[in-house]
Amino acid sequence: MRQFVHALKKFWVYHIARVRVPKFPQDAPVRVAYRFFGKVQNVGFRYELSEVARLLSLTGFAENCADGTVYAEVQGGKTRVEYMKRHMRALRRASVSAVEVQPLPLVPKESGFGIG
């Protein structure tokens, strides 16, 4: 099992390293709650979310829900947060059928992106 997990992490790291992040304008920070529906658990979805958030300098967290969805709160520049959502919808190893979006108040002095 340990070798399988190691191989899986190498696979994810390889694919995440291929993500090319465009230049983004400086825009106002926002915080958004996303709920991703579809085949989003057991495919490395939260791990990818956290790594792409790191690449985009976003903060927040992501967690699996009992109903099979993934809930995430993402904070950063509006354009970067929207790019994150589009990237995750296009993820080939997952199958996102819908995304609920809800604006939230900013969390001051938040740092990093956690996986719950």
pTM for this entry: 0.84
- Spatial contact of 37 and 96, defined as CB atoms under 8 Å apart: yes
State whether residue 52 is helix, strand or coil.
Answer: helix
Q: Which residues contact 25 (CB under 8 A, 6 or more apart)?
A: 77, 79
Four-CA torsion 88, 93, 98, 104, nearest 10 degrees: -30
> Which residues form the catalytic set?
46, 64
E strands in the chain:
29-39, 59-64, 70-77, 95-104, 113-115
More confident residue, 13 or 75: 75
Give the CATH number for residue 106: 3.30.70.100
Instruction: Give percent of the chain with pLDDT exceeding 90.
Output: 63
In which domain, by residue range, is 39 found?
A: 2-115
pLDDT 10s digits, 60-116: 999 999 999 999 999 999 999 999 999 999 888 889 999 999 999 999 999 999 998
User: How many structural domains are present in the chain?
Assistant: 1
Cα(101)–Cα(51) distance, integer angstroms: 20
